[in-house]
A and B are shown apart, each in its own frame.
Chain A
Amino acid sequence: MSGFGVQVRDVTVRYGSETALDRVSLDINPGTITGLLGRNGSGKTTLLSVLAAFRRPTSGSVLVDGEDPWENPRVMQGIGLVREGGDWLDDRISASIDYLAGSRPHFDRDLAERLLDTFKLNPRAKRTALSRGQKSAMSASLGIAARTELTMLDEVYLGMDAPSRYAFYDALLADYLEHPRTIVLSSHLIDEIDRLFEDVAILQDGTVLLAEGADELRSRGTTVTGPAEKAAAFAVGRDVVGRQELGPTLRLTLFGDPRPGDVAQARELGVDLGPVDLQDLFVHLTAEPTDRAQRGTGSDRKSEVPR
């Protein structure tokens, strides 16, 4: 099984007078895990809904595996969008398993039952009787077990407790490695899942802010850790997007391409350089100017003397 690729071109979606997506163009590479990031209301769910043929765009074109997914039996069969709460039957969990086993060609019933067991869910339980976290766990289990060529999980892990979320990440990664496919994860819990991302797309106000490889994005920033004064000295004239203090130690997240003399300067100052945190970059990139002013970081305030 290989994954479906996605090409989105100039897609606009309007709900009445509100524009949810504004001329969005984006490619999702087949066989990768892509993180779709964005603040609340940025258009993530709308974009995923268009890709899954849940709704039609107002204008623009979407190709999934080279074809328009709308009412396309072959393509729709291979697209799975799992939304928070899930779009399952209001019946026992086992009824949804039977339903998916009939409609999804690669559905793995054993895997679904193992995952339900991991999350301590009884297949005979009625969906309506589940807590929010249990519904999320059910959705995550069935979403992974469906093994659709394009698997999209939209904030599906909201409501799950931390051990369940980590069990979900591990299960997703293990199954992805065994059965490579295209996976899109939409989340704002970036710290927890950024290790999974191969590509990242960030939406803001219905437009694509950036779409590139996760490593490429990480390389656009650096963390510097060391004695507060030394770290601050290193950051002078740079764009500071994150700041953490632990006693006398300061850790700063810097945005911008590395400079040729960075390593030597760090050695000279006695500070450590490290990879950047995607979460910090995301917060920086999607922050409104007022947010940046309140945090005292960002491109409109080059750090001269970090606090």
Chain B
Amino acid sequence: MSAVVARPAARPVRRSPLARTIRHQLAAQFYVGAWFWAIILAGVVVATVIASRFGPVEVSIMQYARQGTLWFPFSMMIFIVAAGLTPHVAAGMTRRSFAAAAAVVSLIVAAANALVLVGLLQVERAVYAAAGWTQSLTDGGLDLVSSTTDVGPLLVALVVTGAAATASGLLVGVVYYRVGGWWGTLTLPLTVGPILVVGQLLSGTIGPFGVPVLGKDTWAIDTASGLALRTAVSAALIAILLAVFNRLTRGAPLGKPVV
């Protein structure tokens, strides 16, 4: 006689609220991010083809996507708070898990966009080289590097400035969520200002941190220690933005539902 041992039914894996929320927010961000990059890529290809009609192309066209990689994720982070906080809490999860997930997602989105942009700049460089063109960088925000071959510093600058933008977007979103349009708009210099500060810190020659008074040796951006110092200050600013976002989110009363 043989005994049939009943196997326990497979139970669905229950993720923690934090893991679920990260997964949910990332899925949405990657979906719109794919569209964002598809549109950018199409635009760059078209612009490159048109530019090549007038002679050899001498500047990187992909570099102009940098502003988009700051402000599009910035706006998406505002959306995460505006559209996500109320359903999250109404579904029985804490503001704490929402704030933590949004912070993680903001950093991942910034890193992913930076990686894609750096990758596409490399592809562009290869295409330019094959066509006999010159890939020069003219965007002041990329003054940190002289060429897209400086992948390390380029990636650091793009990740950090991107993270400042996404963290700022979260903060703007929660301030508008909590205090509405008037105060949300009046506090924009405080909530958006850090993007500009970080942008200045990680650009080579423009802005107040490029002037001699502040451009002492320890701050010199073309040295490893200077770049590390600027990156550390930028990271500290981003940490402050996320800490304020976290605090404001954890105390937020839910708004009225949209009927």
Contacts and interface: CB of A to CB of B under 8 A. Distances in A.
Interface of A: 49, 52-56, 71-73, 76-81, 83-90, 96, 99-100, 102-105, 132, 135, 148
A85 B24 contact: no
Interface of B: 14-15, 17, 20, 24, 83, 86-87, 89-97, 250-251, 253-254, 256-259
Given A49-B254, A103-B17, A87 B87 contact: yes
A74 to B, nearest CB: 10
B74 to A, nearest CB: 20
Nearest to A101: B12
B185 to A, nearest CB: 20
Contacts of B87: 87-89, 96, 99
Contacts of A89: 83, 87
Given A49-B253, A55-B253, A132-B259, 17 more contacts: A52-B90, A54-B89, A56-B253, A71-B94, A73-B17, A73-B94, A76-B93, A83-B257, A85-B257, A85-B258, A87-B90, A88-B87, A90-B83, A100-B91, A103-B20, A105-B14, A148-B92
Contacts of B91: 99-100, 103-104
A135 B92 contact: no
A31 to B, nearest CB: 19
Contacts of A56: 251, 253
26 contacts: A49-B254, A52-B90, A55-B253, A56-B251, A56-B253, A71-B250, A72-B94, A73-B17, A73-B93, A73-B97, A76-B89, A76-B93, A76-B94, A78-B92, A80-B92, A83-B256, A86-B90, A87-B90, A87-B254, A99-B87, A100-B91, A103-B92, A103-B93, A105-B14, A135-B259, A148-B92
Contacts of B96: 71
Contacts of B92: 76-80, 103-104, 148
Contacts of B20: 102-103
A71 B95 contact: yes
Q: Tell me which of A55, A80, A99 has the highest count of chain B C-beta atoms within 10 A of its own C-beta.
A: A99
Nearest to A105: B14
Nearest to B82: A90
Contacts of A78: 92
Contacts of B97: 73
A288 B15 CA distance: 52
Nearest to A78: B92
Nearest to A95: B24
Contacts of B15: 102
Nearest to B12: A101
B27 to A, nearest CB: 10
A270 to B, nearest CB: 51
A84 B259 contact: yes
Contacts of B17: 73, 103
A209 to B, nearest CB: 25
Contacts of A103: 17, 20, 91-93
Determine which residue in B14, B83, B250, B256 has the highest number of CB atoms from chain A within 10 A of its CB, and name it.
B256
Nearest to A13: B253
A105 B15 CA distance: 11
Nearest to A99: B91
Contacts of B251: 56
A53 B252 CA distance: 10
A148 B93 CA distance: 13
A99 B24 contact: yes
Nearest to A55: B253
A72 B95 CA distance: 10
A55 B24 contact: no
B253 A54 contact: yes
A54 B254 contact: yes
